[in-house]
Amino acid sequence: MIDAARDPVPQVATAGEYVVALRDVRRRSGLTYRDISRRASAAGHWLPPSTLATMLGRNTLPRERTVVALLAACGTSAADIERWVGLRRDIEARLSEPARWQEESTPPDTASSDADSPHRPSGDLRRVTRPARRRLRMGALALVGALTVGALLPRGEGMTTTSATACPLVLRQGMYGPCVQDLQERLVARGLRVPVDGWFGPDTTSRVIAFQAMAGLSVSGTVDRPFLDALSGDPVLPVPWSENRVSTHLRKTFAPDAAEAVRLARCVSGLDPLRVEVTADGSRRWGLFQFSDMELSRRGVDRRTALDPGWNIAAARDVWSRTGDFSHWRCLPSP
């Protein structure tokens, strides 16, 4: 895999050229879309494979946060990421110049004078029209943003009054706003890495489910008052294993085929012991080797146990010993 951090920041002038340069970073990194998504998540960003594919499949200027997530996942240095972001802002500024020039150079309406028009109020309002329009636009955008956040929340549910921000009694996947961001910050404070972006996406759902399993709560993937009470209570989470500790334990346990064991665990879970994936049929897969609900039932273990990296690796070693290989798992690279 090529180290993207050594690649120079490109000299491009258009949004299309900027996206082409980002595609080149991804191509030379040697990472699949799924690899990038998991690396981005580990770095505290949210970048699903579908979002990445959409971003790299268009010729429009991508969002700043998705650019940062992609570059960070590909190993770009912080200094070069800053340069990439600066370049993006320069392109964005140039793209907005024609519209701004057109607005500021539009001559006033001289078809009728103040005195001649019976519909024009007295006084020269043209002197304040442009700044007034700008203030109105800013206010309208703020209002639309507030209404958009409100529209994403379930209707008819009661609101909490424990903070300055009124939050729904239940938070679930698909919501967006400061209430979700507060939840994410509290999860991070408990050692559950998740992007703090205000979006209740799959990564946040995964962390919520993991905490519910560890705390002995109903594993629903939604956040309610018992969940928040447990989140504020005594610690229930073990000290998380670092990626290096996970890799070391895998190599020791699977000594005859250590490299493949590490590769597989990285592919299915990103070497994240607390990873929980919700499948299309609503079932879940748990931990480093993503054992299914059915497999946990057959082995007679609960979900908390499944999230223990020691147990998860030992269970995978048992499967590997019986089959002689890793054919039990299927993890194909993303396009």
Quote the tokens at residue 289.
């080797």
- Angle (CA) 178 242 2, round 5°: 90
| Pick from 149, 56, 58, 241: nearest CA to 69 | 56
For residue 41, give Cα distances in angstroms to 22, 135, 266, 276. Answer: 19, 38, 13, 13
* 273-286 as b/e: b if 16+ CB within 10 A: bbbbbeeeeeebbb
pLDDT at 100 over 70: no
Q: Are 71 and 4 in contact (CB under 8 A)?
A: yes
Q: Is the pLDDT of residue 237 over 80?
A: no
- Domain pair 4-92 / 132-236, same fold: no
Q: What's the pLDDT tens digit per position in 48-60?
A: 888 888 888 888 8
* Rounded Cα gap, residues 95 and 203, in angstroms: 33
Per residue, the 3-state secondary structure of 107-122, as one string, reads CCCCCCCCCCCCCCCC
pLDDT at residue number 47: 85
- Please check the confidence at residue 307 and state whether its pLDDT lies above 70: yes
Classify strands 276-278 and 291-292 as parallel, antiparallel or unpaired.
unpaired
Residue 98: pLDDT band with limits 50, 70, 90: low
The CATH architecture one would assign to domain 132-236 is Orthogonal Bundle (1.10)
How do residues 59-88 score in pLDDT, each as one tens digit? 889 988 889 889 989 988 888 898 898 899
**Neighbour count for residue 163 (Cβ, 10 Å):** 10
3-class secondary-structure state, position 176: strand
Query: Could you report the per-residue pLDDT of 219-234, keeping only the tens digit for each?
Result: 999 999 999 999 888 7
Structure tokens at 104: 């500021």
> What is the rounded average pLDDT of the residues 10-38?
89
pLDDT at 221: 94
Residues 6+ positions from 166 with CB-CB distance below 8 Å: 159, 160
Residues 6 or more apart from 229 whose CB is under 8 A from it? none
Predicted confidence (pLDDT) at residue 151 exceeds the cutoff of 70: no
Instruction: Please provide residue 182's backbone torsions phi and psi, each rounded to the nearest 5 degrees.
Output: -60, -40
- pLDDT > 90 fraction of the chain, expressed in percent and rounded: 42
Q: What is the CATH architecture assignment of 4-92?
A: Orthogonal Bundle (1.10)
The answer to whether 195 and 184 have CB atoms below 8 angstroms apart is yes
What pLDDT shows up at residue 213?
94
Question: Structural domain boundaries of the chain?
Answer: 4-92, 132-236, 243-323
pLDDT at 1 over 50: no
Long-range CB contact pairs, 96-100, < 8 A, 24+: none
**Residue 250 pLDDT exceeds 50:** yes
Residue 132, pLDDT score: 55
CB count in 10 Å sphere of residue 124: 10
pLDDT averaged over every residue in the chain:
79
CA distance 294 to 171: 27
Lowest mean pLDDT among 51-65, 129-143, 163-177: 129-143
Q: What is the Cα–Cα distance from 104 to 85, expressed in whole angstroms?
A: 28
pLDDT of residue 46: 78
pLDDT at 22: 93
Instruction: Give phi and psi for 91, each to the nearest 5.
Output: -65, -40
Give me the phi and psi of 71, to 5 degrees please: -65, -40
Overall CATH class of domain 243-323? mainly alpha
| Three-class SS state of 291 | strand
pLDDT, tens only, 278-306: 988 888 999 999 999 999 999 999 999 99
Q: How far apart are CA 195 and CA 170, in angstroms?
A: 20
Instruction: Check pLDDT > 80 for residue 165.
Output: no
For range 201-228, the mean pLDDT = 93
